[in-house]
Amino acid sequence: MEPGLEIAGRYRLERSLGRGGFGEVWAAADMLRDRQVAIKFLYPQISATNPVAVAKFRQEAKIAARLDHPGITRVDDFGLHEGQWFLVMEFLHGRTLAAELADHPQGLPVPRVVALGEQLADALVAAHEMGVVHRDLKPVNLMVIDGDRLKVCDFGIARMADASVAVTFTGQVGTPLYMAPEQWLGEPTDHRTDLYAMGGILFHLLTGHPPFTADGARELMGRHLNADPPRARTERPEIPVALDALIVELLAKDPRQRPARTADVRDRLRDIQQSRTSPPPASESTSAAPDDATRRLSPPPEPQSTSPAGSAAPGPTRPSVPESRSPAFDGAARPPSPPPAPGVRDTNGTRRPGGPRRVARRALLGGAVLSLAAAAAVPLSRLTARTGSDGRAGGTGSAGTDDGDSPLRFTLKGHEKWVESVAFSPDGATLATASWDGTARLWNAKNGKPVATLEGHRGEVISVAFSPDGATLATGSGDGTARLWNAKNGELIITLKGHQKAIGSVVFSPDGATLATASWDNTVRLWNARSSELITALKGHKEVVQSVAFSPDGALLATASSDDTARLWRVRSGELITALKGHRSTVASVVFSPDGATLATASRDGTARLWRAKDGELITVLKGHQDQVTSVAFSPDGAALATAGWDGTARLWRVKDGEFIAILANHPEVWSVAFSPDGALLATANNKGIARLWNARNGELITTLEGHHGGIGSVAFSPDGALLATASRDGTAKLWRVGD
């Protein structure tokens, strides 16, 4: 391309306006209409060799041609010139909001933000009514012309609401700073995805910075999935309460908690704009956004008529939702490790947001237990926890101190971000914690004092595991490495490199000879735990490997993946035995029965399945959960199976015939379950920072353990059953006294 070149006999190129990874934009003269235009070109080599990019480019033209609104950049023409695709748009003389923000690092005047927001919403109303979702709103795509008129630009990754496939350059569509949780998770998008981005933009315009920032993409994802929306008004008290409340609603993790109609957002901004010209009503000082609990109890809003057919249907009948919302770091909720990877689908196989942010809207039975099998109860004297009339146990113990008769023995403080997982050493003397602050820590389980901080990973530490002899600790990290450490003093032994993405699970074989690492690069690697040499890489999964487990004899390895399958492998040869197919969504967890005869899988399709371990033959499908099942555990005798669901329940099942035993109604999403070593107790943990102990034989609630201020993603009993460890998004782990 060069100045003076004529395109399609009508457009004469004048100057280059910019280049990107897939194309370039030129200013040009439309000689037929005697006006200036902008022409976007797809590079010749991409036009010739990348059909996906061409499809995306053509889709942009198709979409833009349907939009006719003064607030949306007009597209005039589209075609092919000497093998190179081009798109002709109106030429805009103005400045982007990104440039305006650069001049106002503390934020723009509130009236200007409200006025611009109202124009943005009005333009989106037009797009959404045509069934078009932008999906990449950001300040650089919003241009102000004539000083105060807003134009929405670049519908390059928009999609039609009725499109069955979203064609994008990458698997993840959008700009990270403003991407909605459903985009981070690769789930279906609709008009509410644009509303989330709009909330982030309004926050940015008011404060001078986006609502969520982080040092890296994975941490940023965690904040979008889990962190509570910040309040712009805390930084600028002059911001109207109604505007602050609207932004919080727009930034809701669950799309159904965002405003149902874009027109409603526009109208609310108009009301705010008008109210700025007159004294605020007397009640404004006390008005506030509806609190989270209120919104969760309210019926979900009706979607616009232009919502995609594949988008989440409202109403309590839908198993609804990852991440999230997420996370970290701010004591907000987040799912069991590893964090939900792209590719989660709902119970019907339709992709949708899968993070822990999901709010269970199904009416639960107020904590009651629906028991279908009578059995001997665990004596309450088995617990040292003191409980009140409501079954709750309190306490505020801290590291290194014993809180007397309280069930809370110690609070282990020191991590700077959420604690992802916990593990006891085989002798129960040491507890290991893994955190998104990039460290693991060793603690004395008897006095709660720190033993060592294991530093060196360059990403969050997602998983920890002790070797069977307790001499070595393995850690798996978001930096794509696993590390082996001396479990007594915390000294680094070796770093295991080879994975291309995060390692979400590390597990030692029962004899301690082999270490398995499961990665987001879709592979599992087996290492000689003594020499640290790579034995083999197990390839075959098409998406993230979520979980891995050795059979009790160490001969078999089971893997679970976001590709909706589990797989069985021979450890000695690395040979694939079979792929376990049937789940309709991510298989989040896999575990062998104590005798090794049965394999259990938990899936985000809302079911668990039992398989014959020797050949992968399906035994039974355990149905009943109304939402994702993300954790599964066998009782020590192998007679019962526990499942944790985001429908707010844990469930007990009889393994021999797959019969349902009891529902343990826990209210919020249940993230983790674990049996005590003697099988008498079942621990559950949820996204509200509450753990509960249940009689594992009849499902009766024994006690509630409260004290965390963020979701609990991991629970573990000490080998003697006397202590329960909980790992929370509030950045702490806690040790609870649960046995004699």
Beta pairing partners, 618 = 611
Of residues 332 and 183, which shows the higher confidence score?
Answer: 183
pLDDT-based confidence at 618, cuts 50/70/90? very high
Return mean pLDDT, the chain.
80
pLDDT-based confidence at 52, cuts 50/70/90? low
Angle at CA 647, nearest 5°, toward 657 and 320?
125
Round to whole Å and give the CA distance between 186 and 323: 12
pLDDT-based confidence at 44, cuts 50/70/90? confident
Contacts of 323 (CB under 8 A, 6+ apart): 181, 184, 185, 221, 222, 225, 226, 334, 335, 339, 340, 353, 354, 355, 356, 357
Of residues 624 and 350, which shows the higher confidence score?
Answer: 624
CA 499 to chain CA mean position, Å: 22
Q: Which of 99, 93, 38, 90 is nearest to 69 (CA)?
A: 90
**Token pair of 551 as six digits:** 């059979």
Q: Is the pLDDT of residue 512 over 90?
A: yes
Residue 342 is given by DSSP the state S
pLDDT at 276 (0 to 100):
65
Q: Is the pLDDT of residue 384 over 50?
A: no
Residue 140 is given by DSSP the state G
Q: Is the pLDDT of residue 287 over 60?
A: no
pLDDT-based confidence at 272, cuts 50/70/90? very high
The arithmetic mean of pLDDT across residues 3-13, rounded, is 90
**Token pair of 258 as six digits:** 């965002």
Q: Is the pLDDT of residue 690 over 60?
A: yes
Catalytic, 194? Answer: no
Q: Is the pLDDT of residue 359 over 70?
A: no
Is 129 in contact with 192 (CB distance < 8 Å)? Answer: no
End-to-end CA distance of the chain: 80
pLDDT at 740 (0 to 100):
64
pLDDT at 419 (0 to 100):
94
Please give the annotated binding residues for ATP, written as ranges.
40
Residue tagged 């089971």 (tokens): 558
pLDDT at 368 (0 to 100):
28
Task: For the chain, give the percent of residues with pLDDT over 70.
Answer: 78
For β-strands 392-393 and 701-705, DSSP reports them as parallel
Beta pairing partners, 82 = none
pLDDT at 320 (0 to 100):
28
Other Cβ atoms less than 10 A from the Cβ of 309: the count is 12
pLDDT at 503 (0 to 100):
93
Name the residue type at position 589: S
Is 107 in contact with 208 (CB distance < 8 Å)? Answer: yes
Round to whole Å and give the CA distance between 52 and 46: 9
Q: Which of 474, 479, 451 is nearest to 463 (CA)?
A: 474
User: Which long-range contacts (C-beta less than 8 Å, at least 24 apart) are formed by 43-50?
Assistant: 43/84, 44/82, 44/83, 44/84, 46/22, 47/80, 47/83, 47/84, 47/85, 48/83
**Token pair of 709 as six digits:** 């201020």
pLDDT at 380 (0 to 100):
32
pLDDT at 147 (0 to 100):
82
The arithmetic mean of pLDDT across residues 2-27, rounded, is 85
Task: For the chain, give the percent of residues with pLDDT over 90.
Answer: 54
Helices 110-129, 191-207: crossing angle, 10 deg rounding: 170
Q: Is the pLDDT of residue 352 over 80?
A: no
The arithmetic mean of pLDDT across residues 705-710, rounded, is 92
Set out the domains of the chain in order of their start, with CATH numbers.
6-90 (3.30.200.20), 94-297 (1.10.510.10), 369-737 (2.130.10.10)
pLDDT at 549 (0 to 100):
97
Is 123 in contact with 150 (CB distance < 8 Å)? Answer: yes
Q: Is the pLDDT of residue 148 over 70?
A: yes
pLDDT-based confidence at 277, cuts 50/70/90? low
pLDDT-based confidence at 666, cuts 50/70/90? low
- Which range is least confidently modeled, 15-24, 216-225, 388-397, 679-688? 388-397
- Which range is least confidently modeled, 152-156, 534-538, 548-552? 152-156
pLDDT at 285 (0 to 100):
33
Secondary structure (DSSP) of 421-437: EEEE-TTSSEEEEEETT
**Token pair of 321 as six digits:** 């939702």
Residue 734 is given by DSSP the state E
Round to whole Å and give the CA distance between 246 and 224: 17
Please give the annotated binding residues, written as ranges.
40
pLDDT at 669 (0 to 100):
83
- Which range is least confidently modeled, 84-98, 259-273, 514-528, 719-733? 84-98
Residue 216 is given by DSSP the state S
Q: Is the pLDDT of residue 160 over 70?
A: no
Q: Which of 136, 154, 563, 627 is catalytic?
A: 136
Residue 188 is given by DSSP the state -
Coil, helix or strand at residue 388? coil
Q: Which of 330, 342, 294, 333 is nearest to 187 (CA)?
A: 342
Is 355 in contact with 225 (CB distance < 8 Å)? Answer: yes
pTM of the model: 0.54
Of residues 173 and 631, which shows the higher confidence score?
Answer: 631
* Each residue's pLDDT tens digit, 571-609: 999 999 999 999 998 899 999 999 999 999 999 889 999
pLDDT at 622 (0 to 100):
95
Is 531 in contact with 515 (CB distance < 8 Å)? Answer: no
Residue 358 is given by DSSP the state P
* Each residue's pLDDT tens digit, 187-242: 788 999 999 999 999 999 999 999 998 876 777 888 898 888 999 999 999 999 99
pLDDT at 149 (0 to 100):
92
Residue 713 is given by DSSP the state E
